[in-house]
Amino acid sequence: MKIVICGANGQLGRALQASLGGHSVTALSRVQLDITDLENARQAINTIKPDLVINAAAFNEVDRAESDPEPAFKQNTLGPRNLALATSAIGIPLVHVSTDYVFDGNGSRPYHEFDQTGPHSVYGASKLAGERAVALHNPRHYIVRTAWLYDATSRNFPNTMIGFATRPEVRVVDDQTGSPTFVPHLAGAIARLIESDAYGTYHLAGLGGASWFELTRTLFALLGIDTPVIPVSTEEFPRPAPRPRYSVLTTVQDPQILLPPWEQGLKEFAEEKKKGTH
């Protein structure tokens, strides 16, 4: 299959290139393809003529979006809409990656694909609008919701916590619970999904749920870091954008593609860090 990946330089874009080795992959950075420009998107896709496009590009500055929403909606809504128009015009599928932030986070059980959405942040609203644009303009779509992404090399929460380990103690929020997702696991799941021809919305995230505190405590134990990890409330770390208090993701879709438990992803991450290559 001939595949175009948008957002090639991000942690998911890089992992997808590794997971799709059996395909002919063209990976485009934002400089090479500005998805917020409709004509740019149409020209690139019409020139390459792929069999499928994966959109891993996104505006992920959650707090900045609250005071500066325009770039969030351009990248997270207009961009996916442009890709949906361009792919639909030549009759090919589009994979669009979304987020747990489309939910309000007030639930007490894991969210499945058909649960009611209701974002509380500008970022979440921009991602939900992007989902709707993709579904509206290209019926051959896979919308993939995921959460709490991390790999061994990028700027992300586990790597930030490792950087904080030199402090006397690390204080971490314990009242936000989600689905930590090791990016190579997600990329592998997307590679399986695109073989299904079963279009629709899918939740692909680390199996199970954890708080940021539980994630950090488990990470430090895996790495042999003895810095104390102290649980604190969200109120002790106020942020401009509200975070979902509970946004664990599960799936009821067919095919039901399950990622490994979040603990397994963290174990593989820790093993990579111990090798000293990152």
Report which secondary-structure segment, H or E, holds 72: helix 69-73
Q: Annotated catalytic residue: which of 123, 142, 202, 246?
A: 123
Active site residue 246: no
Phi, psi of 271, deg, nearest 5: -65, -40
275: Cβ–Cβ under 8 A, 6 or more apart, which residues?
Answer: none
Rounded alpha-carbon distances, angstroms, from residue 223 to 140, 158, 271: 43, 11, 8
Rounded alpha-carbon distances, angstroms, from residue 1 to 49, 144, 195: 11, 20, 10
Strand pairing class (170-173; 149-150): unpaired
DSSP one-letter code for 9: T
- Which amino acids are annotated catalytic? 123
